[in-house]
Amino acid sequence: MALAHHHRYAYSPIVDRPDFAWPQDKRLAVHIGMNFEHFDFGKGHGASLAAGRQEPDVLNYAWRDYGNRVAGWRMLDLFETLDLPVGLIVNASIADYCPELIHAYQQRLVCEIIGHGHTNSESQNEFSEIEEAAMISQSRARLAEAFGETPTGWLGPWIAQSHVTPDLLAEAGFGYHMDWCHDDQPIWMATRDNGHILSVPYPQEINDIPSIAAHHIDYREFSARIVDQFDEMLEQSAGQSLVMGIALHPYVTGQPFRLRALRRALTHIADHRDDIWLTTPGQIAAHYRAQCPPG
């Protein structure tokens, strides 16, 4: 019996693909995805410090808000000190809640705005097609209006897609998304009417929410994962160009004790900057599109 298939891409083993290089013949592209999220008070989804609480859930709401009020600013100092570019994955509601945080990143870093829905209190696959299309369009427009940059990339709230999300993103003008963690290289995905959208690798293992909030690993283990992932992928990239992503949420990794461990891991990566391409997801997408256009 044939299994249901998404029909977005065909199977392609990574060991059997045309070769390409990143700028300056680099083989490993490294990007940091910083998630800036804002939540409904008293309803909806959200990562939990303590599970099973009734709404209004003051403990978890306030824990998440620490990321916007304190930790996001501390992490900005870290990225600036290490001269690291950052992809800013932003709920559109941030534009009305704490736009000064995003403006500060834009002023002090090389960065990129990436669409992340309206709020992470909702999951993208909860909507009808009409509602989802409106959410995508409105989120993109609000980010462009508030921050002077129209996003070309998207990460869905709760990394959730409906059956038509890639189609809607392409039709709204997005060139890439990061919801699928299925590869270490960008992959072209088919959309309806013979279109395409690029999938840029975004990690789930090197991601602080599933690692720390869901799997409850030690924060020093998360830092060690970053270092080991980087060292191994740097070796693997000698054979073919790869992408390594690091997914962070300020209310998780920006806690002071975790920030100290993160600093050690990112310093290790920054010390290898001459060997890698430190960049943003949008730059990865643009370079790959020029080197490997959809077939």
Q: Please say if the pLDDT value at position 52 is more than 70.
A: no
| CA pair distance 55, 72, nearest whole angstrom | 26
> If you compute the radius of gyration of the chain from its CA atoms, what whole number of angstroms results?
19
Token couple for 67: 């990321």
Q: Please say if the pLDDT value at position 53 is more than 80.
A: no
- Span 156-167, mean pLDDT? 96
| Complete domains list, the chain, with CATH | 23-40+55-291 (3.20.20.370)
The reported pTM is 0.96
Least confident of 85-94, 123-132, 148-157, 207-216: 207-216
pLDDT for res 89: 98
- Span 188-208, mean pLDDT? 97
pLDDT interval class at 214 (50, 70, 90) = confident
Q: Which of 68, 111, 91, 210 is nearest to 154 (CA)?
A: 91
What are the tens digits of pLDDT across the range 20-47?
999 999 999 999 999 999 999 988 888 8
Q: Please say if the pLDDT value at position 1 is more than 90.
A: no
pLDDT for res 95: 98
pLDDT for res 162: 96
pLDDT for res 157: 95
Contact 134, 117 (CB under 8 A): no
The H or E element that residue 135 is part of is helix 129-147
Q: Which of 250, 260, 187 is nearest to 219 (CA)?
A: 260
- Span 190-206, mean pLDDT? 97
Cβ neighbors of 220 (< 8 A, separation 6 or more) are 261
- Span 113-124, mean pLDDT? 96
Q: Please say if the pLDDT value at position 258 is more than 70.
A: yes
pLDDT for res 215: 87
- Span 137-154, mean pLDDT? 98
pLDDT for res 206: 98
Q: How far is CA 195 from CA 32, 68, 136, in A?
A: 28, 37, 18
